[in-house]
Amino acid sequence: MKKEIKSLIDKGEMLPLMEEFYTVQGEGFHKGTAAYFIRIGGCDVGCHWCDVKESWNADLHPPTFTEKIVKNASKYSNTVVVTGGEPLIWNMEPLTHMLKKNNLNIHIETSGAYDLTGTWDWICLSPKKTKLPKLNIYNQANELKIIIYNRSDFDFAQEQAAKVNDSCMLYLQPEWSNREKMIPMIVDYVMKNPKWKVSLQTHKYLNIP
C-alpha cells in the first residue's frame, strides 16, 4: 500500500470499504427501520461462526474516500448503520463528522474491542469472548446484543450486562446456523429474565441484505 493512502486511512479520510447498501435493519432495537449500511473491512476478533468472514482482511477491500462514502449514504436514508468487520479498528471521527453535517442519524455495530471514536446516535455493542470490549464503551452503549451459540453464552451475557449502563437495552440473538436449537432456550431464558429481549435476524427471514 502506498504511504500516502496508508496515511489517509490512518486519519480516517479513507476507509477500506467492503460494501454499502440500502435495506431494512433486521436486528435489535431498530429492526424494521430503513437504513443505509456501510460495511468497513478489517476484523481480528475471529468469531468462528461469523457470516461475513470475507470482511476480515482489510487489504481485500478498496480504500475509499470517506467523503465519497458520505455522499452515497446521503442519497438514501436519514439513518446510517456503520458495521464491519470491526469498524473501530479505524478512526471514525471524519466519517461521523461528515455524516452529521448531512443531518443523518448514525448507528454503529461493534464488538467494542477497540477504542470508541466518532460521534454516534446509537451504539450497538456486541461483545465477543475472543476479544473483550474496552471498558469505556460499556457506559456509552445504547444496546447490548449477545450472540447465543451455546449454553455458556447465557453466562457471558449476564457478565456483560452487569457492565453496561442502566438504560442500555439487552438483547439475546441466536447464532443463525444454530438457531433451531438455541431459540427455545433463548425464549425460556427471556421469560425467566424479562430484562432481556429476543433479537432475530429478520432480514434473513425476509431474504434481504
The per-residue DSSP string of 107-175 comes to EEEE---S---S--SEEEE--BTTBPPPHHHHTT-SEEEEEESSTHHHHHHHHHHTTS-TT-EEEEEE-
Longest CA–CA span in the chain (Å) reads: 55
Going from N- to C-terminal start, the domains of the chain cover 3-205
Give the residue among 167, 117, 152, 121 at the shortest CA–CA distance from 137.
117
Chain Cα centroid distance, residue 56: 14
Share of the chain above pLDDT 90, in %: 97
On average, the pLDDT of the chain sits at 97
Is residue 183 pLDDT above 90, yes or no?
Answer: yes
pLDDT of residue 146: 98
Share of the chain above pLDDT 70, in %: 100
How far are the Cα atoms of 1, 42, 54, 86 from residue 60, in angstroms, in the given order?
12, 9, 8, 15
Q: Which residues contact 155 (CB under 8 A, 6 or more apart)?
A: none
pLDDT of residue 73: 96
CATH of domain 3-205: 3.20.20.70
Instruction: Tell me the per-residue pLDDT of 61-98, one tens digit each, with 9 for 90 and over.
Output: 999 999 999 999 999 989 999 999 999 999 999 999 99
C-alpha 146/C-alpha 125 separation (Å) is: 8
pLDDT of residue 2: 85
Is residue 1 pLDDT above 80, yes or no?
Answer: no
Instruction: Tell me the per-residue pLDDT of 106-164, one tens digit each, with 9 for 90 and over.
Output: 999 999 999 999 999 999 999 999 999 999 999 999 999 999 999 999 999 999 999 99
Question: 72: phi > 0 → left, psi -120 to 50 → alpha, else beta; which?
Answer: alpha
How far are the Cα atoms of 53, 76, 140 from residue 49, in angstroms, in the given order?
9, 31, 27
SS3 100: helix
2/171: higher pLDDT? 171
pLDDT of residue 156: 98
